[in-house]
Amino acid sequence: MKREITGGLQLYTDYQWVWELVSSREEYESLAEYVITQIKDHEGHPTASLLHLGCGSGNMDHHLKQHFAVTGVDLSPDMLSSARKKNPECDYHTGDMRTFSSSKRFDAVIIPDSIDYLRSPAEMQQVFGNAHKQLKPGGLLLAIVGYDPENFPQNRTTVETASQKGVDITFIENNYIPDSQDPSFEATFICLIRDQRHLKTMIDVHTLGLFRKDTWFKELERAGFDGVLFQDGLLEMVVQEGAFMLIGKKPD
């Protein structure tokens, strides 16, 4: 048995092919529909263009592109390569959500999946401030925070399986707060990869931020947005228990 322990987000680079096996466009349909509904409910004018920060491999964009002209940004060239194959109609760029800049201005900016990787209020301010610059007057920012520290599922573990071309994958995710004084948690991904008789184990540890709702909301308003924060049963059903949404409107 071969084992590899990483801390460099290998699930999004060298092992991106594993992510493709355990993640599908269908799994993102409900989340995409939820985001589309929130945009329609809160927009001040019709939303035609959308900037998706942290777009990953494009599974969600498959649904969003039916409604908007989508521009996607992600740090991983491997994820973007997959996104371009799935969504040739979309415009993809390798970049950091904190610093990405475009000459275009968008009707909406969304961060529905990757904002939990921000590790400090300073990074929140970078991202929200950058989103504010990329928006047209009256544009919307939507961000979905996956975890509430007051309702964190300590040591939650999920298991998925997938198979393709003789390779069997067991995909395990564990969420754990190692230090209650540190506003972060570890998402540990374990992949059991079986190719006939051979077993390879990959362990990838991601450290993500874990902040109170009022911290997020404060940084949203500091960046110049008229902010709304809410949490409802439908959002938690689509994402997970404890998830909440931030909606910021750039003043006209």
Cα dihedral sign, 63-66-67-69: positive
Contact, 128 vs 218, CB < 8 A?
Answer: no
> Which tens digits make up the pLDDT trace of 132-189?
999 999 999 999 999 989 889 999 999 999 988 889 999 999 999 998 888 999 999 9
The answer, yes or no, to whether residue 61 has pLDDT greater than 80, is yes
The answer, yes or no, to whether residue 7 has pLDDT greater than 70, is no
Q: Which has the closest alpha carbon to 187: 94, 119, 107?
A: 119
Tell me the fold of 12-149+211-249. Answer: Rossmann fold (3.40.50)
In the block, residue with structure tokens 């993500």: 208
Q: Based on the number of CB atoms within 10 Å of its own CB, is 197 exposed (0-12), middle (13-18) or buried (19 or more)?
A: exposed
What is the Cα–Cα distance from 173 to 140, expressed in whole angstroms?
A: 32
Q: DSSP readout, 3-51? A: EEEE-S-GGGTTTHHHHHHH--TGGGHHHHHHHHHHHHHH-SS---EEE
Whole-structure pTM value: 0.92
Ordered by start, the domain boundaries in the chain are: 2-8+150-209, 12-149+211-249
How would CATH label the architecture of 2-8+150-209?
A: Single Sheet (2.20)
Chain-wide mean pLDDT for the chain? Answer: 92
Report CA 53 to chain centroid distance, whole Å. Answer: 8
pLDDT, position 6: 47
